[in-house]
Structure 1
């Protein structure tokens, strides 16, 4: 049987495949697994159930045949350079992204972008339908593919379809600005189960359905009117509820236990001048992350003399993001100007106020940074979850360190023992930073133990298992039983 003709009982659909193409100047190209929580969560389920993953391979104007990687069947979906510009950089990231993040930056509406979004979503739906067995489970991911569930249902009504939205879903007063709001809602309602990061996001979605479409949406159930097999009016129930995503806790703990990682953490502190307090920010360079807000607060603390550059420093890792989008180019210029100004005003020989890095690091280096940092600053203006906050907590096997966490990040619903802040309130943010700096060790450890308990008991494996358990139960007579790899979800990671 050729790879293209195989059928699968479990299919994941996301904008990107879980691999990156590596093409050296001399030699044959190969595929390398991408880092990321979704890969970690879903890959064991796919391996246990002979699953397939449908997604774009990350290179425009190139077509690849389906192939196997780490026991998973990968189905590439080709995109042209124009489609990357219109569907991905345009509609997904210059229309939907700012709209769904509370219009922190104004969205751009272009009909040509929307038309490309529809065409590309149909291509993903067709690819998934082609590899799905009869009565298969299909799990579609994120805001780039919100039309796929309804397209799949039209093409393959036998399928059980789940959708998970990794970013926030906005309040109706914001969502209603979208010219294609009804089409997006109807696209999502093609799913049997729609998952969100926070209960508030699920509530916003239900209100949008009631107000835009007039459907009944009570609790977690939306009633979708449609025609039954005999043509008579019928109601199909769609579940919309929150499933907060998490991380591979055991993997981070294992790295944090390694002697070379611990040694690297000590080396980092020494390279920073052995300050009393190391603060850390780790973000994708994005206007939703509040990087400028934390730098402003830190700079004012130095200016007021509440912090001294000789014993306090801020490390900011800002990984590159959407660098062809003009808004992101402008943001990078603004952040780097702020870094230069703070360092110029307050830096001393051998003591830099802000150490700024505009590139990504391997996971081992990130865990070393987490261990080297006394305070983690997560100041997102709006965030679906923010997994960095959970990564910091998971890495602190010494039960020390303080997490300063924005109440506008989804993680704030779970990580109640963090110092919760409103990042727009610069004075409040400054006070929280000082509270973290001055916090007694006993309180730091009490808070961190509570945070670690929560994260360990709700790891990424439990997240995927809980979503798929609900999805499998939607159509029990049709959907196949999945091996989720979570036979004892009452026990935290590492204690099974």
Structure 2
């Protein structure tokens, strides 16, 4: 199989392995946010994608899917326990999300993280053509850039960090902090969601490695005494806004949205769409909503909250406990405030196809994105993209990356329960003229800065890095 000019390296392949009609295994495209973001970028390129196939001990040869060569990396159950559930999601995820949950530091987890990162780097090195590009994705693979540079110094390496990068005071807790920074600096271009994240990264570089930084660059010394210049900056990720708008204009989806509103019966529909994760602020949202019902500020006839919490990391104990806590809160609120005719909260622990999500976005008067910490949050942008009539209210956490771009939303501090209640009341009462003014501003931002522009900005900087190295 020929080698590719652009190789994407991510924890997962962009497909799921499923059983076909004849019982034979087949592949279908995954619904995840990373896949959605990159599918447009990959469409017009001679590309390959390196990632885990989604099942333990699955060892299959590279294959082609929708014009992209997919390169499965096998992971054992032990790898998944220690590298993925352990170091990636038991250490890095909570540490990088402001220690909302306590990180766990296990040397065996770190050893697995190193071992698996090397496996991904070797697969990428094997499948990228001479002088090509490799684009590494996210926190599970922070060591891959440097490992790949050692294996293939001829290629140009990019790394994009989809989650927050913590302040130095938090990052410094990590026992393997220097190794992580050195791993990331193997890249030529390092991207973050927010200017704040890029700044946190550069402060950690200065404090721990003492490398000079200037503007959006880091100077990395090399053994040959010819220092490398690494671009380190923010590239806020986005969505395929036109695709979401096209879905929102389909008659069947419009009819589905109307059906949802009729079935719920309340005057206003509030919607939350999140992975079941402690960073998403679902507990705080439920507390504020429950208190509004208790205070008599709203009733079940005034508004219904539809909360979708798609399953996430069921093997991690903190997530099991979170699900139990949320479902107890929902049951308590519904028991106290639902009636025969109305349900205070419709809670759905399920994932839904994109068409159903667009119908829900169209049906919702208020979209609640109240994460305690979030790299970006594309749900906020999806909601804005489909509101072609400029109605609807976005309530957005100031701690989500999307708040940097969507400043016309009603910004909220989700830790402030009283303040959140006031914002929710305001969202339900906002005049249509104010809705339109805010929504027009946000829609322009989303459509002017879509996912194609995001990918092109990053790849342009990788091309600049390659040209600079070739000229040296």
Match of 2:407 in 1: 416
Is 1:98–1:104's contact at 8 Å kept on the other side of the alignment? yes
Partner of residue 392, structure 2: 401
- 2:278 corresponds in structure 1 to 287
In 2: Cα distance, 1:91 partner to 1:300 partner: 37
Structure 1: how far apart are the matches of 2:78 and 2:220?
A: 35
2:178 — aligned with what?
182
Q: Structure 1 runs of 4+ off > 4 angstroms?
A: none
- 1:257 maps onto 2:249 in alignment: yes
Inter-partner Cα distance in structure 2 for 1:46 and 1:437: 40
Q: Corresponding residue for 1:133?
A: 129
Q: Distance in 2 between matches of 1:26 and 1:338?
A: 43
**Shift of the alpha carbon at 1:49?**
2.7
- Per the normalisation by structure 1, the TM-score is 0.93
Residue 464 (structure 2) pairs with residue 450 (structure 1): no
Q: Does 1:223 align with 2:219?
A: yes
Structure 2 unaligned spans of 5+: none
Instruction: Return the offset for 1:477.
Output: 6.2
Q: Equivalent of 1:202, from 198, 202, 214?
A: 198
Partner SS, residue 85 of structure 2:
helix
Q: Distance between the aligned counterparts of 1:332 and 1:437, measured in 2?
A: 28
Aligned to 2:259: 267
1:334 paired residue among 312, 325, 332 = 325
> Shift of residue 398 of structure 1?
1.6
Q: Which residue of 2 aligns with 1:466?
A: 457
User: 2:309 corresponds to which residue?
Assistant: 318
CA-atom RMSD, angstroms? Answer: 1.2
The count of corresponding residues between Structure 1 and Structure 2 is: 470
Contact preservation (8 Å) 1:310, 1:348:
no
Match of 1:109 among 101, 105, 108: 105
**1:82 partnered with 2:78:** yes
Task: Name 1:300's counterpart in structure 2.
Answer: 291
Find the aligned partners of 1:34 and 1:308 in 2 and give their Cα distance. 39
Please give the per-residue CA displacement for 1:31-85, whole angstroms capped at 9, x wherever unaligned. 1011234334433443433111111011111101000000001111000011011
Cα separation, 1, equivalents of 2:369 and 2:43: 34
Q: Mark the runs of 5 or more structure 1 residues left unpaired by the alignment.
A: 480-496
Map of 2:18 onto structure 1? 22
Distance 1:388 1:47, change over 3 A: closer
Distance 1:67 1:123 in 2: 18
Distance (Å, rounded) in 2 between the aligned partners of 1:457 and 1:23: 40
Question: Secondary structure in 2 aligned to 1:184?
Answer: helix
| Aligned counterparts of 1:404 and 1:48: Cα–Cα separation in 2 | 36
1:58 equivalenced with 2:37 (yes/no): no
Rounded Cα–Cα distance in structure 1 between residues aligned with 2:371 and 2:39: 29
Q: Residue 278 of structure 2 aligns to a residue in which SS?
A: coil
Q: Please report the TM-score for the alignment, with normalisation by the length of structure 2.
A: 0.98
Q: Please give the per-residue CA displacement for 1:156-188, whole angstroms capped at 9, x wherever unaligned.
A: 111100000000000000000000000000000
